[in-house]
Structure 1
Amino acid sequence: MKHPAGSREDAKPAVVEPPALALAPKADTPADRAEFEPKQVETKPSAPSGPITIRPTDTVILKDVTRFGLNIGARSTYGAAQHLKNLIPNPGFEAGVFGSMIHAAKGATTVRVAQAFWDTDWTREDYGIGQPAGFWDGGEYEFTYGAAKGRTGRITRFALENHENVFYLDGGGPAPNEWDVLVVRRDLPGLVAGPRMATDCVSNDVRPGSPGKQSLHLKAGGEWSKCEVYMDSEWRDGDKSAGKLIVVRGPWKISFWAKGKGVADRIRVMFHREGEGSFIDESIKLSPQWQLIERAFTVPDGADKLGPYNEGDYHPLLVLSLSVDNDGGQVWLDDAALEPANEKNPTVFTDAFVNRLKELRPGVLRNWSTQHGNTLVNEIAEPFERKTNGYSPRQRAAGEWGFSLHEFLQLCKEIEAEPWYVMPPMWSERDVHGLMEYLAGPADGAHPYADRRASLGQQEPWSDVFKRIHIEFGNEMWGEASANDPFFGASALGGERLGTMANERFALLRASPFFKDDKINLIIGGQFYYPGRQGEIDATGNHHREIALAPYFGSDKEHANDDELFYPLFARPFEDVATGRMKQSQDELDRGGKKTGLAIYEINFHTTGGEAPIDVTNDFVTGANGALALPLYMLVYQRDMGAKNQCAFTAIQYSFGIGEGRYVRVWGLLRDIAATARKRPTWLGLELVNRVIQGDMVAVDIEGTRNGWTQRPINTVENEIDVPFVHAFAYKNGNTRSLIVFNLNLTDATSVNVAIEGAASGPITRHQIAPKSLHDDNEDAETVSIVTDLLEATNPTTLELPAHSLTALEWQT
């Protein structure tokens, strides 16, 4: 906490490219039932020749659909993801936990296991990279895959020998084979301080009633004379175009417990924007007894100005400083909070974020944030007792701290979304058993994890709160498990290992007396760019119900004009389901015969290859085209692949660095939440369709001649494909009917007739995104929005579809 946070948003890994795959021939007919006559040019279509009729039917395509969901991600102290009320990470100043997934090198014995994929030449004491000798001493181990599977015990010694990390293990049993999986876990003493754990600044003297185990001990004149939390550094140290991503305004409050060694000791509290002024700056007298200190303050509008700033100006950070304020003084700090004062919602998340989520109405929220190296006990700990955690062999500090599983479920309850939880792959059997008890067991004094749930304020089992709870084993665990893998330390190395370990953990969940098959959906993450991976995973067991993919989209390699940018973007989902990787993935599952379904764990633009000038790329990924593209992909996958559970990536992020000082403005559907809270067009597109996705998805008949274009193979479209301009998706929920219609023509409006079968009981509600230009965005001002109005219900109802527009209708019958 003494050092400024990093300078970029959480990295999204590059996609691992698979071997070349043979594609099936181009489909001759579109997915829905209509005559289609493409204009035989590359991507320069003509306007439709006349109106067509869109007729929603009663034929159910997919029962009981789920509105589209969202990944919420971790809080970022330095960037845009400022969705937690309390700005202080690790506010109880607690120690750490660490868990890693290790692969055995060749030549392991029963008691000596060297780690594959790490050379100790990479271990650097000066930079805190890698793990020093002794790091794992006394930790616990468990073999979770291979010849030694099931062996557990203690690590007697961790050494660096012959360029390898070496684990010496107690106990007996089989020796592992090369690349068998060893999971190791341990507690880390101290307090995370940059790349290391500091032990000279903590004390076991905690405030009365604290749920935590340690406090922060500050001494005047020493290295730890103050505690500083640096925030909002992205615009200084990373993407300077971001501007401030936290703007402090209105009523705030700060609270903490403190005591001094003597009656003369004082603590100075300062919350300020560098060089621009302080919001609170006070020296407070302490005593040798613990006392709760609380202060309220108001920041006038404009005191922390949003701008403007020039690129050459210094971009000041936001800083909270708690320091010893007298010579020779000593101060103990515990359980601190800095947060807005008038928040209304009952969760740990800000009103601004919760309100935005309620506007989006996600059907499911996916929590992949900071939990990879965590334990169940820490995942359901209160904020002031929650430890930091880590998992990567590159690291020696447990540097992650975020919201808990319990707090995530409270958020899902508040916004009425189904939870999708990424279960840490390092969890022990006791953690896995405990998870089901926590989620679904009775709080009756005989079930400690359920009793813990009740003590946190949730008496009723979570399984009774939600229609379904989705549990995924790890995140993108098929990766290469080497130092080049962004999830090194949490990767399985291929689909067979992943599927085997996941199904064995899922078997433990299913063995619980509290498991209900209709309530718990078990998911394994697959690899979109290698459809064969889905077959590998699916063949390993029968306990999973879905394999989830991340079909990222959007290439701007060819960008001479709008036709080259946008028509391939709109064409690819139709190729995906006709001959592409979605179809190939489903074919892999169909061959397995287990009726395993497909889900989408992440989806968004992935235009990070640097193939176009950065201004072209940022215009492409933030433009109004995203309001059409993101829901179009998800709707096509829902209709043609039966993908019920889909989550866009991610709620909040300003940009992602791709090297050489270039930043691409992905993956946040919100530009930020604590400065402008502007919705990017991708968010708006999901918000619009989520207003009308309901009940059962039904088939649509489209009568008449639909014009379209013939898309040539560019920008990730691999085969020539014919695509109509107009697409429609329909739903029926009792007496409520709804319809979503796209006009993908880049230049021309078109009229359609919508058949309203039966007598409508009132007007039709229309929601529409019809930007003046697909290059419009909301980065600096709101230019793209949803417009809602009422239409008179007639049969048919004539609907004017502007060029490049998205329209949703809802009516009662």
Structure 2
Amino acid sequence: MRHFPWLLLLVSTIAGAQTLTFNDASVLQAHPKRIGHNVGSLSYYDNSQVFKNLLGTGNPGFEPFSIRQIWPSGDEGTRTTFVSPDSYDPVAEDYWKGAEFSIVQSQRHGAELGCSGTIAGNSRSDFRKGQGVTFTFAAPCAAATAAGDVMIVSKVTDPTPEAVWEGDRSAGSNGLAAVQIPRGGKLTSLTTGLCAACGTQSLVMDATAPGSSSGFTLYYDNLQIANTTPDIYVLHRGTYQLSFEAKITAGSPQLRTSLERLSTSSNRLRCAPFAPKLTGQWAEYTENCEAAEVGIATGDANCVAGGKTTDCTAPGPGMFTVAVTGGAVAFDNLSFRKISGQNPRNPSVFRDEVVDTLVRSGSQVLRFWGSQNGETAWNWTQPDQAMGRAYSGTGFYNEGMGEGISLNDFLVLCETVQKISGKPVVPYIELPVTLEGDDPVNLTEFLDAPAVTKYGARRAALGQTQPWTSVFSEIDLSFCNECWNFAFAGQNLPWRKNATYYGDYSERAHAIFQPIRTRDPYFPPDVIRLGIGFQTATTFQADLAIENVCGPKKDGCPDYAEINAYTSLGMSPPSMDAAWASALVEPYNNIYNPRSQTKVYQSLKDYQNLHACGPKGTSRCEVAVYEENNSTMQSCGTKCTPPARNLTQDEEDELTSGAGQGIVAALEGLLNERAGILSQAFFTLTGVYNGTSNPPDLYAKLWGDVVDMGGATENVRPQFLGVELVNHAIEGEMTDCDFTSGLPTYDYPGDPADNDQPAMDHVPWLYAFCFRSGAERSFVLINTNPLTSYTVGFAGTAAPQGTVKVMQYAPGALNLMNDSRTGSTTYLTAATVALTNSTLSSPASVTVPPHSVTAYSFRAP
């Protein structure tokens, strides 16, 4: 057995026997929610490839794009100028010429408030002078712009110009994809004579110049870390269909496609070249191909982790190429998806494996936090083929491609998970910060209004006749994703000099919430709940911010405040044993220690003690956790003072993706439930790697809690297992149960090298959480002691009897992993930790092993 020297530093009180007493009649929480997931990461690489359409993250409808930004000004302007605060904005001079603007806030309530019009031009920023962008208006406002004014500026590039499709760097464009336009080929846009499902524009591949060709290449299932292609995230098995709509617009062109995985294996995806005969009329063209790729998840005897690997398909990106010669072709609605063996109960745009994973997780809260900050109500509720790509921030100028998902698609996902699981789901939606005018009310009417209304009719046209509020018992609408975060330039309202910490942000939230509460006649306050987010580490002035959100008439108040609850924010441990000691104690410290390093305790106590929320501004403020997970991404770097030190890459892998994190995730989720937290969403379903600040530039296996879904392994990370087990147990009400004798505890000495973890006395080694739903009973025992098992006897009401189902997470060591170490390939890596299931018959006691989580469920007589 592994030794844990740090245990010798802990003053322990371990009694010989533990008695758990059930008080079934005492309800601690009437409506605890199962732990949720963030599902907003969408991309063509790693396990973020969530769509059935494997080419669906790259604007397959070739729609125009728009960019919408919000800027608070810290400087004085004039009647015709507005100065942004970002001296690092990479925007080109006069990029915004012709764009629309609106002054939506004024700290002094000056006459410039409400001014709107057209941008005549803009300057460049200059970080050397600390100078942001100056916007010049085509016509003057009634008064000069001033510090404290907030402006929304928006530009729709419609139709998409050739320079954008082709990636003209002088125009600031990244291009369509891997563009292929040799010898005078072109990529342009068609806006007339479109097909019925073509939206507002189609792509034209123009090869009318003699000897030219025109086309592009898209990649997917593509990720390389540390010179290694680590995994196959989408394993092709079965029948797949390539489809698109096309017509000839000039000449007698030939169109040819190719689609294959760039792998060294012979059993890789390789579709035959497709060269359909086109006409001058729009038509849909389809071609099917078979694939039989092999991964360790398929059970092939010749593809076994640690054994034969001769038939394993080697990783490599999927590559789609289309090219036109001899003329011009209009092209739209590109799709490549599996058509065999699909679940008829999954009408969503998400792959069956993704839906199955969410159902398996038991997630009740599904949080949508994607790149919606540049959305308008009109675009966000469009049919897929007509929804343009909407961007915000300063990193998306002139993008021709990008991820996107409609609001309706997300709601269909939630409904699908709800129907398949048979358990309620709560859609948790981040409202865009750039909403203005009627946008807030239009969005809520899309959710709650009858089909005879304008936005109710838009919803009905997408297939949902009845309001979404009749499908879900709760829908959470939170005001934008971390819009207080200074890092999200152009889509945030951070602290500004001479203003309160959340000043601009809270006023903007009032401008969104107030019309929702007062102008939507169908708004159901018992179903749609409004939230405002705060930085967990900064509790001061949040009370004032909630007051500002409410407004003087208390007609825009939130129902809840949201915080994050990350653990292990900075780790410079003297040993891995010390690191695990810190990780296992932090969930308890966050809820019960007034000196919580991450300030979860301080935030929770502050907001829950406020009675300034709800429709009238008099209700107790509830708290939601919008993101939680470990975050081992920082250490002491070049400033390490022994015994503090930097993690190695192997230690980074073990600590961020090791088996101990399954225990941390389970304990944190249940302690949050006991503390009365309204909702919590694990961050995140997808995402395999992130960079760190640990020298020398390590990778962290964060923040996704799955390895791949329908890929070579179908492994999940330990965090997923902890959440899955806990969600299996959470039903009905959380009831009281306590260790009335023999509770083992220890005095944690604290460790400034590990996340500045504060000391705390009498920390339990053993935890119990109990639930009831009608006659169903369940309880969870968590043992955080890495060396000692405990035998627990029972007393009180509703002790376990009859057949007791047992689900257990008991890894053999805290550092075991379900994916490979960084720099190695995961596609041959077997899972080393998993949940186990067994039964007991009317046990008088149970024994829980070291570092374990065990759920027991039974029926009361």
How would you bin the TM-score normalised by the shorter chain?
A: 0.7 to 0.9
**2:850 counterpart of 1:803:** yes
Output the CA distance in 2 between the equivalents of 1:760 and 1:98: 58
Output the CA distance in 2 between the equivalents of 1:44 and 1:781: 38
Output the CA distance in 2 between the equivalents of 1:661 and 1:723: 35
Output the CA distance in 2 between the equivalents of 1:454 and 1:406: 11
Alignment equivalent of 1:256, drawn from 234, 244, 268:
244
SS of the residue corresponding to residue 240 of structure 1 reads: coil
Residues 705-744 of structure 1: pairs in structure 2 closer than 5 A: 705-714=742-751, 715-716=754-755, 717-744=757-784
Alignment equivalent of 2:670, drawn from 619, 635, 643:
635
- 2:274–2:287 Cα contact (<8 Å) kept: no
Alignment equivalent of 1:665, drawn from 695, 701, 707:
701
- 2:187–2:214 Cα contact (<8 Å) kept: no
Output the CA distance in 1 between the equivalents of 2:408 and 2:378: 11
Give per-residue Cα distances to partners, 1:486-521, cap 9 Å, x unaligned. Answer: 454334434222122112211111111111111111
Report what 1:454 is aligned to: 460
Output the CA distance in 2 between the equivalents of 1:456 and 1:538: 36
Change (3 A) 1:787 1:556: farther
Query: Shift of the alpha carbon at 1:667?
Result: 0.4
Residues 440-589 of structure 1: pairs in structure 2 closer than 5 A: 440-444=448-452, 447-480=453-486, 485-493=487-495, 494-511=501-518, 512-532=520-540, 534-542=542-550, 543-554=557-568, 557-578=571-592, 579=594, 580=596, 581-589=599-607
- 1:373–1:426 Cα contact (<8 Å) kept: yes
Output the CA distance in 1 between the equivalents of 2:681 and 2:95: 41
Output the CA distance in 2 between the equivalents of 1:275 and 1:590: 55
Alignment equivalent of 1:185, drawn from 130, 144, 154:
154
Give per-residue Cα distances to partners, 1:126-156, cap 9 Å, x unaligned. Answer: xxxx243142423232323523585142123
Residues 653-802 of structure 1: pairs in structure 2 closer than 5 A: 653-658=687-692, 662-675=698-711, 676-714=713-751, 715-716=754-755, 717-755=757-795, 757-758=797-798, 762-779=802-819, 780-794=829-843, 797-802=844-849
SS of the residue corresponding to residue 628 of structure 2 reads: coil
Query: Shift of the alpha carbon at 1:786?
Result: 1.2
Change (3 A) 1:706 1:197: closer
Report what 1:279 is aligned to: 271
Output the CA distance in 2 between the equivalents of 1:43 and 1:283: 71
Report what 2:404 is aligned to: 402
Change (3 A) 1:206 1:670: farther
Query: Shift of the alpha carbon at 1:630?
Result: 1.0
Residues 108-127 of structure 1: pairs in structure 2 closer than 5 A: 108-118=77-87, 123=90
Alignment equivalent of 1:62, drawn from 29, 35, 39:
29
Q: Which moved more, 1:802-811 or 1:165-174?
A: 165-174
- 1:575–1:721 Cα contact (<8 Å) kept: no
Report what 2:554 is aligned to: none
Residues 190-339 of structure 1: pairs in structure 2 closer than 5 A: 190=160, 193=165, 196=173, 201-205=188-192, 207-220=194-207, 225-235=214-224, 240=228, 242-261=230-249, 264-274=252-262, 276=264, 278-302=270-294, 316-324=316-324, 326=325, 328-339=326-337
Amino acid at match of 2:29: L
SS of the residue corresponding to residue 845 of structure 2 reads: strand
Report what 2:617 is aligned to: none
TM-score, normalised by the number of residues in structure 2: 0.82
Report what 2:615 is aligned to: none
SS of the residue corresponding to residue 627 of structure 2 reads: coil
- 1:262–1:287 Cα contact (<8 Å) kept: no
Q: Which moved more, 1:53-62 or 1:699-708?
A: 53-62
SS of the residue corresponding to residue 535 of structure 1 reads: helix
Query: Shift of the alpha carbon at 1:443?
Result: 0.2
- 1:211–1:384 Cα contact (<8 Å) kept: yes
Give per-residue Cα distances to partners, 1:53-76, cap 9 Å, x unaligned. Answer: 342432111111111111002311
Output the CA distance in 1 between the equivalents of 2:285 and 2:508: 49
Q: Which moved more, 1:609-618 or 1:426-435?
A: 609-618
Amino acid at match of 1:585: S
Report what 2:93 is aligned to: 132
Residues 26-65 of structure 1: pairs in structure 2 closer than 5 A: 42-43=9-10, 48-65=15-32
Amino acid at match of 2:34: R
Query: Shift of the alpha carbon at 1:680?
Result: 0.7
**2:693 counterpart of 1:649:** no
- 2:263–2:314 Cα contact (<8 Å) kept: no
- 1:44–1:563 Cα contact (<8 Å) kept: no
Alignment equivalent of 2:624, drawn from 568, 576, 599:
599
Alignment equivalent of 2:414, drawn from 406, 412, 415:
412
**2:63 counterpart of 1:94:** yes
Change (3 A) 1:631 1:303: closer
Query: Shift of the alpha carbon at 1:314?
Result: 11
Change (3 A) 1:266 1:140: same
- 1:556–1:620 Cα contact (<8 Å) kept: no
Amino acid at match of 2:221: D
Query: Shift of the alpha carbon at 1:292?
Result: 1.0
Query: Shift of the alpha carbon at 1:114?
Result: 1.6
Change (3 A) 1:744 1:112: same
Which fold has the larger relative contact order, with Cα–Cα distance below 8 Å and residues 6 or more apart in sequence?
1
Output the CA distance in 1 between the equivalents of 2:750 and 2:314: 46
- 2:570–2:633 Cα contact (<8 Å) kept: no
Report what 2:355 is aligned to: 354
Alignment equivalent of 1:85, drawn from 31, 49, 52:
52
Change (3 A) 1:117 1:465: same
Give per-residue Cα distances to partners, 1:564-591, cap 9 Å, x unaligned. Answer: 1222112122222221212211343356
Give per-residue Cα distances to partners, 1:217-257, cap 9 Å, x unaligned. Answer: 1123799711211223312x667262333332321111111
Output the CA distance in 1 between the equivalents of 2:528 and 2:685: 24
**Structure 1 unmatched runs, 5+:** 1-38, 124-129
Output the CA distance in 1 between the equivalents of 2:220 and 2:533: 33
Give per-residue Cα distances to partners, 1:412-436, cap 9 Å, x unaligned. Answer: 1111211000111101121111011
- 1:259–1:286 Cα contact (<8 Å) kept: yes
Output the CA distance in 1 between the equivalents of 2:726 and 2:715: 18
Q: Which moved more, 1:739-748 or 1:338-347?
A: 338-347
State the 4+ residue runs in structure 1 displaced beyond 6 angstroms: 221-224, 303-310
Output the CA distance in 2 between the equivalents of 1:688 and 1:586: 25
Query: Shift of the alpha carbon at 1:539?
Result: 3.0
- 1:78–1:233 Cα contact (<8 Å) kept: yes
Query: Shift of the alpha carbon at 1:208?
Result: 2.4
SS of the residue corresponding to residue 321 of structure 1 reads: strand
Amino acid at match of 2:830: A
Alignment equivalent of 1:165, drawn from 123, 133, 136:
133
**Structure 2 unmatched runs, 5+:** 1-5, 127-131, 176-185, 419-424, 496-500, 551-556, 613-619, 636-645, 820-828
The percent of aligned pairs where both chains have the same amino acid is 23
Give per-residue Cα distances to partners, 1:99-119, cap 9 Å, x unaligned. Answer: 101122412123211211225
Output the CA distance in 2 between the equivalents of 1:533 and 1:77: 40
Amino acid at match of 1:637: N
TM-score, normalised by the number of residues in structure 1: 0.87
SS of the residue corresponding to residue 709 of structure 2 reads: coil
